[in-house]
């Protein structure tokens, strides 16, 4: 998604130029392609039986790939570099979930199982936070907008969670 907007192409919001497809469709397709690439890389790496040195090398490469991505993400400029760094992210994710790197232990904590439902709510509500900032805070700085978008996203995600929770209770007739 970022790659299409990086140079102010207004890709996602220009429905007239791209027909009935809106930005959400393109973002969803980009997300699917990202997942397919990461899964394919993960499956290829899983077939390897690395020794300890190779696992260390995988871990170093994985951390470097994430580092490059986040370094480019938080730079004030450099959209073209960010586009290239985004292409490296499925490799890092594939390496993480292959189980062949030492960092995979970070994702094996018991409390991590509670993050999966939260990540869906964050994904479903992030655009609401962005839109609120675009409409109400367009004259404010980037850092302020980033903070407000995060706060709005979390608030709407929590609201969504509460609505779904009580909806489930109503459907199962546990709430009278």
- What is the SS3 assignment for 64? helix
Q: What is the pLDDT along the chain (176 residues), one digit of tens a residue?
A: 444 444 444 444 444 444 455 555 666 777 788 889 999 999 999 999 889 899 999 999 999 998 888 877 776 655 566 677 778 889 999 998 888 888 877 777 777 777 777 888 888 888 888 888 888 888 888 788 888 888 999 999 999 989 988 888 888 876 65
Do residues 67 and 22 make contact, with C-beta atoms less than 8 angstroms apart? no
Do residues 86 and 65 make contact, with C-beta atoms less than 8 angstroms apart? no
Do residues 125 and 160 make contact, with C-beta atoms less than 8 angstroms apart? yes
Per-residue pLDDT reduced to its tens digit, 70-117: 877 776 655 566 677 778 889 999 998 888 888 877 777 777 777 777
- What is the SS3 assignment for 174? coil
Q: How far apart are CA 123 and CA 149, in angstroms?
A: 13
Do residues 4 and 26 make contact, with C-beta atoms less than 8 angstroms apart? yes
What are the structure tokens assigned to 90, written together?
A: 């499925």
Phi, psi for residue 108 in degrees, rounded to 5: -105, 10
């Amino acid at each position: 998604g970022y790659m299409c907007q990086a140079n102010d192409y207004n890709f996602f919001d220009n429905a007239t130029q791209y027909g009935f497809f809106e930005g959400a469709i393109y973002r969803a397709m980009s997300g699917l392609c990202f997942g397919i690439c990461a899964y394919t890389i993960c499956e290829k790496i899983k077939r390897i039986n690395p020794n300890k040195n190779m696992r260390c090398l995988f871990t170093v490469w994985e951390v470097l790939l994430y580092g490059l991505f986040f370094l480019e993400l938080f730079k004030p400029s450099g959209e073209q570099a960010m586009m290239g760094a985004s292409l490296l992210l499925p490799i890092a994710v594939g390496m993480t979930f292959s189980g062949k790197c030492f960092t995979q232990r970070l994702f094996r904590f018991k409390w991590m199982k509670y993050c999966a439902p939260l990540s869906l709510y964050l994904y479903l509500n992030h655009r609401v936070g962005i839109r609120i900032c675009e409409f109400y805070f367009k004259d404010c700085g980037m850092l302020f907008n980033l903070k407000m978008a995060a706060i709005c996203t979390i608030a709407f995600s929590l609201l969504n969670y509460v609505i779904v929770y009580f909806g489930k209770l109503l459907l199962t007739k546990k709430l009278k």
